[in-house]
Amino acid sequence: MTTHEFTQSLTAQTPPAAANPILTALWHDARGDWEAAHTIAQSQEGTPAYDHLHAYLHRKEGDAFNAGYWYRRARKPVFPGTLDEEWNELVKTYL
């Protein structure tokens, strides 16, 4: 699956069957279901990729303190760009 194909899937009623859980969470997030995305992030706490997702979601929520905690757990720097740029970067990273 390409980034373009994943982005195009946002018009579908369900996430792509081939999407891994991180991408599924990003799909839900892009469609406005932060809670579904957060549930996925919480499902594998302690796994760097899930902690990275968790950091982004709390940054999006506006909770910079909590986001910082999850970035540290993921061993990632706080993303310097916009939320849209971070979402796109996460998609590219976890495709």
The pLDDT assigned to 2 comes to: 92
Chain-centroid distance of CA 5 in Å reads 17
Residues 6+ apart with CB under 8 A from 89: 79, 81
| Contact predicate 70/55, CB 8 Å | yes
Low-confidence ranges of the chain (pLDDT < 50): none
The pTM of the full predicted model, rounded to 2 decimals, is 0.95
